Amino acid sequence: MTDPQLMQLAQEARQKSYSPYSHFRVGAALLAKSGKVYTGCNIENASYSPTNCAERTAFFKAVSEGERAFEALAIVGGREGETAEFCAPCGVCRQVIAEFCPKDFRILLGAPGKFQAYTLEQLLPFSFTNESL
Ligand code: THU
């Protein structure tokens, strides 16, 4: 699985976004060390706070299937009707990523054909993790 392929899967997952309130559509594709890819989209709620981000949907699907080790995460997001340009993961999602991934875990942001790779350490420096306890 190449980085562009993972971005493409995130783009396809974005099409499943359930976002009738924000109209902001996000897709994620999480590559596990097993080789399997788990996709996710944001899932909103009329009560707002139960909303789940695309990244956490992907992680929770993977972890609930027994995965514990991950290679990379691709994220594609943007306003409905617009071509996604860049969507950074929210703070809560960064914390969930930190629960399962090392500092050098790769996070791909942008859109298929135009994206940049960051490490978890770059996006969440000085993090509180299981090593802190
Ligand atoms: N959202 C994500 O799915 N991932 C992010 O990293 C940023 C925000 C969703 C949550 C909500 O459904 C919408 O985008 C607007 O915040």
User: CATH no. for residue 29?
Assistant: 3.40.140.10
For the entire predicted model, the pTM comes to 0.97
**How far is ligand 1, taken at its centre, from the CA of residue 59, in Å?**
14
Find, among 8, 16, 17, the residue nearest to 115 by Cα. 8
- Angle of helix 91-100 relative to helix 54-64, nearest 10 degrees, comes to 20
Number of domains in the chain: 1
Give the CB-side neighbour count of residue 126, counting CA atoms within 13 A: 0
- Rg value, the chain, Cα: 14
Domain of 26 in residue numbering reads as 3-132
In 3-state terms, the chain is what percent helix, strand and coil (to 5)?
A: 30, 30, 40
pLDDT in tens, the chain (133 residues): 999 999 999 999 999 999 999 999 999 999 999 999 999 999 999 999 999 999 999 999 999 999 999 999 999 999 999 988 899 999 999 999 999 999 999 999 999 999 999 999 999 999 999 999 9
**Is residue 85 annotated as part of the catalytic site, yes or no?**
no
List the catalytic residue out of 12, 44, 55, 71. Answer: 55
Residue 19 CA: which ligand 1 atom is closest? 12
Q: What is the Å distance from ligand 1's center to 114 Cα?
A: 20
The closest-lying atom of ligand 1 relative to the alpha carbon of residue 57 is 3
Alpha carbon distance, N-terminus to C-terminus of the chain: 35
Q: Output the CA 24–ligand 1 centroid distance in Å.
A: 7
Which residue has the least CA distance to atom 14 on ligand 1? 24
Helix (H, G, I), strand (E, B) or coil at 50: coil
Q: What is the number of the ligand 1 atom nearest to the C-alpha of 41?
A: 3
